[in-house]
Amino acid sequence: MAAPSHPEDMLTQVTQLWSMLDEMSESTPESYHRFMQQQLEDAKQYCAPPEPHLCLQTHILDPNEKSLFINLCRWKRVPAPKSPTDPIPLSAGVLEEVSDKAELYSIIDIAYNPSVLQRENQAEMDHLISLTFKYIEEHYNLSLSHSYHIATFTLRGSLKRMKQSLRGGPVPAPLLNKNMRNELTLDLMKHNLGEDHHNNATLLLNKNVTQSKVHLIEEIASMELPEEVNTPAYELTIAKDANRKPLKIELKVELPKVSSVSECELSISRDDVIVEVPEKYRLQLDLPELVNEEATTATFNKGKGVLLITMPIPQGKC
């Protein structure tokens, strides 16, 4: 099928696709179910939350000397570099200052595609870390010690704080009053790397490109989805057995502007759920219990405009 040349043509094709899905759901429900399961699986991969990989501890030398913890995270939403000579995309959270009893330190979360963190040898990993340090120095106007050690824990701070930081959610006010999300690319890094005669990262990551003409790392655009959509009304309940043991979570989402189930996009992980209707609604919730995403079901009542999501809670040890 040729790509549509005008917005009207694209809208027509989208409308035809929605109609086809509605017809499929009525005429061949099994095929429709398989198709939607595949779409949900693809969306689940894209919407899966970032995961901690390792934590680096170093020191900020200037403007104020203190410890810095760098959480390197795996996130499938961050694209992998298209080739070994292309820049390495990353997503960065805010630089957060933490006062823990008598200790004062900072935390920053940096996410790469999982394939980027699977370095073949320690030398390549060392160079990736060196580039990460240079990124932090450039973007946050800091001077860092390039001596570091890998912490015994994989994440400094809570998992929820890290997810909120990378997703652009609410976190404590960052150091130096930086914006909650950064949408810049590292235009200046190529110049600094070109002037650093001791840096050989380009030899590892961009073997056939001169240092003065390449961006070794670039930050991708904000990971947040458009904010102009509405948050729908919802009701979340936890069903329990006679012993008050949680059995399942039921989430009812009111979507009065939705006329077809094909408009809804649903993504569920073990600890959160995202319901989205492009340009109409978006709801993201952290779940109060871990759920079995594989056994989750969803039904849409077209007459009432209500989406019911039933998420079983695993029994016993997860």
Could you read off the pLDDT of 97-119 as tens digits, one per residue?
Answer: 888 777 889 999 999 989 999 87
Burial classification of residue 220, based on how many CB atoms lie within 10 Å of its CB (0-12 exposed, 13-18 middle, 19 or more buried) = middle
- Taking alpha carbons only, the member of 133, 144, 89 closest to residue 112 is 89
- Taking alpha carbons only, the member of 90, 95, 87, 88 closest to residue 69 is 95
In the chain, which stretches have pLDDT less than 70? 1-10, 42-46, 168-228, 317-318
CA distance 201 to 186: 15
User: Residue 277: what pLDDT?
Assistant: 87
User: Residue 72: what pLDDT?
Assistant: 94
User: Residue 124: what pLDDT?
Assistant: 85
Identify any residues that bridge with 250 across adjacent strands, giving them in sequence order: 237, 310
* 272 contacts 286 by C-beta, under 8 angstroms: yes
CA distance 64 to 133: 17
pLDDT tens digits along 146-203: 899 999 989 998 888 888 888 764 433 332 223 323 333 333 333 333 333 333 222 2
Q: What are phi and psi of 104, to 5 degrees?
A: -120, 125
* 115 contacts 34 by C-beta, under 8 angstroms: no
CA distance 167 to 239: 30
Six token digits for residue 180: 């909650």
User: Residue 313: what pLDDT?
Assistant: 92
